[in-house]
Structure 1
């Protein structure tokens, strides 16, 4: 006797229904508030059912987590499923109904139809959820940093044009850059050229000492001569200085948040079994590695390589009917946008570094030489990269599983 529990989660409540094979309804859809009392009542009820019980819930942001935690702690089989899989479930009806009870019934039918393939939620998924949440925040602050940087450069173009191109020092561990620190002290060209070369040299040397930068003797004269040729649109007024200082502080704050999250993501990802394998792949570093692991999740849930490329939305579409077969199709783009973004960034790394011995770069270069458009060869390269990723990580997890078995079983 199978009891399929369909749970449609929302922000403060979930709608639950229980059905058995042949469409036998054990419990009509009912609402459960996300409070400890009502969730405990739900657990007690599900444990009282005769036969095997499996619950399925959609991964809807963070709304499903209270229910998942309560059922998992109680030892009840719970599977968190991608909503797109539920959406593809057959309705067997010409009517299009969108309501919480209807969604709960649809999820329950999905549980029955895919009973043997349901994957139980595990504590390892908790780590992956944390990593995915961190990646979401990382993306949020990265967007803030891009906007803050563009805004700051726009302001400085009116007081000290091109100041962001005066230095090529790499960013520090806290995300700050030398040109930003320099612009905070010398925010207007008159801060340089009006005080004379000698005074500027002394102030620049003090600036380098304060911020722990190497002082180059020829640099002050170079900066001074360049400042003399620049045209400032805004006058050297207090209000403009305030705006620029606030913009620099905002940029530095966003950069600091990003570096903290980058470090935390890398540390958290290192606890997962596939970390070393992922980090060994060319083009993957301490930023892209945790992002890939966060967005892809556990590769064991993908039955084949085409499944993971479809999840990322970099698989070519299919358009066939009768004798007609379209040769060139657009990518589906149905999967994770954050994953596609990370994949395109990795493809950019390949194109910039040109590792001629890497199969992904060889594939990219061949497609580009054939005259394929940018999006076509980038998407094709991302597809090939994901297939290699899937093969290596799948093999890694299999080897770890074999190593954990007793000698007679392995």
Structure 2
């Protein structure tokens, strides 16, 4: 007899239902806490069941991880399922019941009907979960960086208007930018105007030497001349200086967090088997590569490439009914929004680099030349990129598995 355990995980508790293969409710839904002792007792009770036992847990971002990790350690077959699949799964009922015990029973019904296609949670999934967690924090601090930088620019527009547009130097590997370092020293136009050109030149030269920037006398003279005609709304005093310095300090702190997370993600991603083949793809680098791998997860869990494009929400929609068969539909956008965002950034890199030999770029360029709107050719490019990603990574992983079996 088969037994399916449906688990609806929450922050402090887990609601559990148990069905047999005949869709019979073995035990009335019950609740256990997220404590280690309760989950260990639960795992032992599952192990004592006479039959083939599998547990299905709805993915909740992070609340499902404690019980999944503990059950997996106790060698219980655990499968983590996308909540979208559970939500779309039919109950064969007109009643719309939404509570935790009902959700646990719904997960049971889903698990029984999809028994053979359930994928077991593995140790490698733990590493992928860690990478995904880092990526969520990376996205959070990146958004904070944008916000803090905008705040700094708004403050400097009152003391040194347009200072963020004075330099075109690229962002350094550590995330620092020349205009931010310059603003830390020359935070007000009067910091420049109060000096003679010679005095400013010497001070700017010292700044460049200290920060490791290339000094150009012509650039120095340009900065001095432009400062003469600027209007500062705020006066040069200690109060406004403290505000600007505080904003610069906040920005540098956030940049440190972002770059630390970026390096850590690349280190974690390098431990995954598909890392080498992913990093060889055009448009992917040490930043976007780990982000992409974090959100896709194990490519082997997708049975076909259409499943991956659907997961990302870049699959073409379908609108067909009777004699109506609409040929052009927008993307579903029902998948992972963070993955779509990463894919669009990769497409933007391809457009910027325009590698003529790359198939994804060729495809997008063709769509653009046909006059397709931005979202259309970007989504189409993301779809093609994922199909190639699916084929390359699975082929590589299958080859690794074959080599492993040969060596054994």
TM-score (norm 1): 0.97
**Aligned residue number for residue 80 of structure 1:** 80
Distance 2:188 2:118 in 1: 63
- After superposing the two structures, state which structure 1 stretch, 267-276 or 193-202, moved more: 193-202
Matched, 1:10 2:15: no
Shift of 1:241: 1.2
Distance 1:220 1:323 in 2: 71
**Aligned residue number for residue 167 of structure 1:** 167
Shift of 1:223: 1.3
Per-residue Cα deviation, 1:55-80 (whole angstroms, up to 9, x for no partner): 00011011111101110111111111
SS of the residue corresponding to residue 31 of structure 2 reads strand
Distance 1:281 1:40 in 2: 44
Over aligned residue pairs, what C-alpha RMSD do you find? 1.3
Distance 1:251 1:235 in 2: 23
Q: Superposed, which structure 2 residues align to 1:137-286 within 5 Å?
A: 137-286=137-286
**Aligned residue number for residue 373 of structure 2:** 373
**Aligned residue number for residue 293 of structure 1:** 293
| Paired residues of 2:161 and 2:232 also in contact (CA < 8 A) | yes
Distance 1:23 1:284 in 2: 47
SS of the residue corresponding to residue 7 of structure 2 reads strand
| Paired residues of 2:295 and 2:339 also in contact (CA < 8 A) | yes
Distance 1:380 1:204 in 2: 48
**Aligned residue number for residue 40 of structure 2:** 40
- List alignment gaps of at least 5 residues for structure 1: none
**Aligned residue number for residue 329 of structure 2:** 329
Matched, 1:135 2:118: no
SS of the residue corresponding to residue 29 of structure 1 reads strand
Shift of 1:341: 0.5
**Aligned residue number for residue 93 of structure 1:** 93
Distance 2:346 2:18 in 1: 45
SS of the residue corresponding to residue 53 of structure 2 reads strand
| Paired residues of 2:68 and 2:78 also in contact (CA < 8 A) | yes
Shift of 1:220: 2.2
* Aligned residues between the structures: 408
Distance 1:208 1:367 in 2: 45
SS of the residue corresponding to residue 320 of structure 1 reads strand
Shift of 1:404: 0.6
| Paired residues of 2:171 and 2:177 also in contact (CA < 8 A) | yes
Q: Superposed, which structure 2 residues align to 1:17-32 within 5 Å?
A: 17-32=17-32
Shift of 1:224: 0.8
**Aligned residue number for residue 343 of structure 2:** 343
Distance 1:386 1:293 in 2: 11
- After superposing the two structures, state which structure 1 stretch, 293-302 or 245-254, moved more: 245-254
Distance 1:178 1:338 in 2: 30
**Aligned residue number for residue 63 of structure 2:** 63
- After superposing the two structures, state which structure 1 stretch, 330-339 or 161-170, moved more: 161-170
TM-score (norm 2): 0.98
- List alignment gaps of at least 5 residues for structure 2: none
| Paired residues of 1:176 and 1:256 also in contact (CA < 8 A) | no
Shift of 1:132: 0.3
Shift of 1:222: 2.1
- After superposing the two structures, state which structure 1 stretch, 384-393 or 83-92, moved more: 83-92
SS of the residue corresponding to residue 23 of structure 1 reads coil
SS of the residue corresponding to residue 22 of structure 1 reads coil
| Paired residues of 2:23 and 2:112 also in contact (CA < 8 A) | no
